[in-house]
Structure 1
Amino acid sequence: ETTADFEKTFTFMKELKCEETDLACLTPYPGTEFYENKEEEGIKIVDHDLEKFNGLFPLISGKTFQREDLAKYMMLFLNEYNDEYPG
Structure 2
Amino acid sequence: MDTPQPVESYVVTIESSVTTKHELFSRITDKVHLGLSRFSGWDAFEEFLLSTLETRNIVIQVVNDDLSGLSESDRRLYLRLMEDAAREFPQKLFLE
Instruction: Identify the TM-score tier after normalising by the shorter chain.
Output: 0.3 to 0.5
- Higher strand proportion (structure 1 or 2): 2
Which structure has the greater CA radius of gyration? 1
What is the TM-score of this pair, normalised by structure 2? 0.40
Q: TM-score, normalised by structure 1?
A: 0.43
